[in-house]
Amino acid sequence: MRRSLELLLNTALFVIVLAMATPSLAQPSREIDILIRHGRIIDGTGNPEFTGDVAVNGDKIVMVGRQLNVNAKRVIDANGLIVAPGFIDIHSHSDNLLFEDGSAQSKIRQGVTTEVLGEGESAGPNKGSRQSTANTSDRNAPWPTLGAYFSAVERSGISVNVASYVGLNNIWQSAMGTSFDRPSPDQFEQMKRTLDEAMNDGALGLSSYLMMPPGSLATLDDLVELCKVVAKHGGIYSSHIRTEGVGVVDAVKEAISVGERAGVPVDIIHMKIADEKLWGQMSQLVALVSEARSRGVNVQANVYPYTRGNNNLSSIIPPWAHEGGSAKMLERLRDPEQRKRIKQDVLQGVDGWYNHYTAVGGDWSRMQVAAENRFKGLTMDRVMALRTASKNNVDLLDEMFDFLLEEGGSVSTVFAHHTEADMNLALSQSWCSIGSDGSAYAIEGPLRRGNPHPRSFGTFPRVLGEYVRQRSLLSLEDAVRKMTSLNATKIGLMDRGILRSQMAADITLFDPAKVKDLATYTEPFQYSEGITYVLVNGTIVLDKSKHTGATPGRALKR
């Protein structure tokens, strides 16, 4: 009798537990907003896919299961499609473009639901001399604080969520302006106060661009002290390291040291070997990061799936010539004696400076104009040929200097400076996530301009089509993890990046057999294929591959 009673109780308990764990056994209690049915669910954790349903109500996921018995206002038939968390672009430059067109076409059509902004420079804070030099399209800018930017971009109406680091350039120039002098103790304390304010405004952490001033003026000790402020807020240090060429090993060691000494997580921005003299040595960087992680240092990295990078032609000008800003640099280029010194430094290098010219072997054909001018889309060897056709005995560096003078000191340029093998080795590491280093452009309207890097249109579909389906470098589950939960966890967005009940309803659906990038270096204005639905905060923004015009995006603060 006792055994029968125990069996009865155990059976009853099993039925109760099963009913709680399996939503399909429950009767529908109310109508929800959206039901995604019969999809191949990849939840973002790296776990194997399963066929099932996702229920969305308001801006939250309310249920995920193999067969949900619920009524919905809208049912999306996801048969044959992958249902994944919305992709988080850990490295984006859409800060100002979103004010021109908040629909974020080239990113939404890649499945991106959150843009992470700020690389050395962020939309705010703009204090001191930065107040008059900040460049933005919003009539209320420059934003004195990062919080003011968040408010402005939300008011403007955006299709994607945005989050942001605070840039080291902003922090440094808030106290130092365009001076290259060392900060006094009082000035450094001012930097720390400005950083603290930005963290209170919701910054994810501190980002640095250490290749060029003003970021390059900061020493290792400076970075450690600033990151101790970040650590108090539970933030992260994201770094475009000091050099990606000769000296790259030391540059990675420096990033690791900042994390170890300041007690902050570190994310190395688009880790690469970007100098032909060092190609094939990515294994050294992987070993450095892996060894640091083995002793408890939280250091990770991200990459974009291309072998060319985007910078400015002015990056060929040595750092000292940038003091005082662009106007002063142009003055130096006009001065014969200073121009002679600049040329010598370009050819011979400067200690600690990443020299884009020598990184590509002085090969003008490996530089492509991405700016909106008469040479857009042309490689620099063709530009030089056109510019010098009627001239004799022209020094090509002098011609490049003249080109910069004509363009006001700025020419966006794509440099072919790293290899597929090195990039693949980084991409395949478990701690390496995906970021575009691109911006939210469009194939028509005001945001069809220049000749942008194709990563602005194709990064995430390229990973899924090229490196998952075609090359099998990554499994589909791991690729999705690198685009979702890995990025979310890095930056502390704990309610996104995984398909789970009560998480934010940022969801991307794509066809794994068709997803691919179409944008190229010469024809970048092409949207990717195979992304079929995108939900941002529970609102459908991409519906059967067509943008709905919805703008449910929010500013996400740490």
pLDDT tens string 350-379: 988 999 999 999 999 999 999 989 999 999
Query: Each residue of 332-354: pLDDT tens digit?
Result: 999 999 999 999 999 998 988 99
DSSP β-ladder status, 299-303 and 266-268:
parallel
Tell me, yes or no, whether 205 lies in a domain. Answer: no
| 130 has a pLDDT exceeding 90 | no
Contact present, 474 and 468 (Cβ < 8 Å): yes
Check pLDDT > 50 for residue 144.
yes
Q: Element (H or E) spanning 198, and its range?
A: helix 185-200
* pLDDT score recorded for residue 241: 97
Q: Which of 22-31, 202-211, 447-456 is predicted with the least confidence, judged by mean pLDDT?
A: 22-31
CA end-to-end distance (rounded Å), the chain: 59
How many distinct structural domains can be found in the chain? 1
Q: What pLDDT is stored for residue 555 in this prediction? A: 98
Place of tokens 């042309």: 378
Task: Tell me the C-alpha distance between 400 and 384, whole Å.
Answer: 8
Question: Would you state the pLDDT for residue 351?
Answer: 87
Q: How confident is the model at residue 15 (pLDDT cuts 50, 70, 90)?
A: very low
Tell me which DSSP letter residue 24 carries: G
Burial of 552 (0-12, 13-18, 19+ CB in 10 A): buried
Average pLDDT over residues 287-291: 98
User: Tokens for 551?
Assistant: 């703008």
Residue 358 lies in a domain: yes
Percent of the chain with pLDDT over 90: 89
Residue 119: DSSP 8-state: B
Q: How far apart are CA 307 and CA 315, in angstroms?
A: 18
In a domain, 241, yes or no: no
Give a yes or no: residue 461 inside a domain. Answer: no
pLDDT, tens digit (0-9, with 9 covering 90-100), for 463-502: 999 999 999 999 999 999 999 999 999 999 999 999 999 9
Q: Which domain holds residue 403?
A: 311-416
What tokens appear for 176 in the block? 């130092």
| Position 56 in a domain | no
The 10 Å CB-count burial string (b at 16+, else e) for 497-529 is bbbeeebbbbbbbbbbebbbbbbebeebbebbb
Residues linked to residue 55 through DSSP beta bridges, in sequence order = 35, 63
DSSP state for residue 548 in the 8-state scheme = -
pLDDT at 528: 98
Could you tell me which residues are beta bridge partners of residue 236?
205
Whether 25 shows a pLDDT value over 60: the answer reads no
Res. 20 pLDDT band, cuts 50 70 90 = very low
Mean pLDDT of the chain: 93
Sign of CA dihedral 81, 546, 118, 163: negative
Report the C-alpha gap between 105 and 403 in whole angstroms. 32
Predicted confidence (pLDDT) per residue in 75-85, tens digit: 999 999 999 99
Q: pLDDT grade, residue 458 (50/70/90)?
A: very high
The reply to whether omega before 213 is within 30° of 0 (cis) is no
CB–CB of 180/218 below 8 Å? Answer: no
Residue-wise pLDDT tens digits, 366-420? 999 999 899 999 999 999 999 999 999 899 999 999 999 999 999 999 999 999 9
Name the residue type at position 109. R
In a domain, 526, yes or no: no
pLDDT grade, residue 30 (50/70/90)? confident
In a domain, 410, yes or no: yes
Bridge pairing between strands 82-85 and 507-510: antiparallel
The CA distances from residue 159 to 132, 322, 510, 524, in Å, are 30, 37, 18, 22
Q: Residue 267 falls within a domain, yes or no?
A: no
Average pLDDT over residues 121-146: 74
The pLDDT, as a whole number, for residue 141 is 72
- The 3-state DSSP class for residue 290 equals helix
In this structure, are residues 247 and 255 in contact, taking their beta carbons and an 8 Å threshold? no
**Strands of 112-117's sheet in order across:** 87-92, 112-117, 161-164
pLDDT at 189: 98
Alpha carbon distance 519, 109 (integer Å): 12
Backbone angles phi, psi at 511, to 5 degrees: -90, 110
